[in-house]
Structure formats: structure tokens, C-alpha cells
């Protein structure tokens, strides 16, 4: 499995740090210290691409609305189709949480 390549003490530490964050404000503070603005925006863009692909948007519409390259869109689509279903899991949870708040 591909995620086995990631496993290690330092990555465990990173993920535990992320899991320790209590709210959006703490996430903003942590990721502002951890990443560049471009890195954060790239991660956010990939998640948005995944959401749009799941909702049936065309590559052209995704490219226009997000600024993502077709290579990025293809990579995200590959993960949606053949990955660990993590995009789907996260997007479903966000949608569920949003529905509970509404």
C-alpha cells in the first residue's frame, strides 16, 4: 500500500500534531507556521478539485474555477478512483458536518 511509504516517526508526529488542533483558528495558526501560503493553497485546491470531480464538473469548468492544471485534476481523479478513498471520506464528513450546522 502506498501509505506505507509515508509511515515513520516524523510523519506520525506531524499527524498527531494536526489531530491535536481544536478548531479552525488553531489550524490557521499551525499551518501558517508550518507551510507557505502557496503550499496551503495547493492542498486546498486539490480538495476543491476532488469535490468538483465528485459532483460531476468537467475538467474545463474545474480548471476555470480553481486554476488547477489538467495534470493536478488528473492526479486527483486518479486518487478518487484508485486511492485510499480519503478524499471521499473527508468530503463526506465535511458535508455531514455542514448539514448538521444548517
Give pLDDT tens digits for 22-60.
999 999 999 999 999 999 999 999 999 999 999 999 999
- Spatial contact of 88 and 54, defined as CB atoms under 8 Å apart: yes
Q: Per the CATH hierarchy, to which homologous superfamily does domain 46-101 belong?
A: TrpR-like (1.10.1270.10)
- State pLDDT tens for residues 66-99: 999 999 999 999 999 999 999 999 999 999 998 9
Q: Model confidence at 102, in pLDDT bands (50, 70, 90)? A: low
Q: Say what the pTM is.
A: 0.90
Domain with CATH 1.10.1270.10 in the chain: 46-101
Higher pLDDT, 49 or 6: 49
Burial class of residue 29 in the structure, from the number of CB atoms within 10 Å of its CB (0-12 exposed, 13-18 middle, 19+ buried): exposed
Amino acid at each position: 500500500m502506498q501509505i506505507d511509504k509515508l509511515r515513520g516517526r516524523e510523519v506520525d508526529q506531524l499527524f498527531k500534531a494536526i489531530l491535536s488542533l481544536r478548531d479552525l483558528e488553531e489550524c490557521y495558526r499551525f499551518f501558517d507556521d508550518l507551510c507557505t501560503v502557496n503550499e496551503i493553497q495547493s492542498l486546498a485546491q486539490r480538495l476543491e478539485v476532488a469535490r468538483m470531480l465528485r459532483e460531476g464538473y468537467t475538467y474545463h469548468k474545474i480548471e476555470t474555477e480553481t486554476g488547477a492544471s489538467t495534470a493536478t485534476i488528473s492526479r486527483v481523479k486518479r486518487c478518487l478512483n484508485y486511492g485510499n478513498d480519503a478524499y471521499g471520506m473527508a468530503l463526506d464528513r465535511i458535508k455531514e458536518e455542514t448539514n448538521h450546522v444548517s
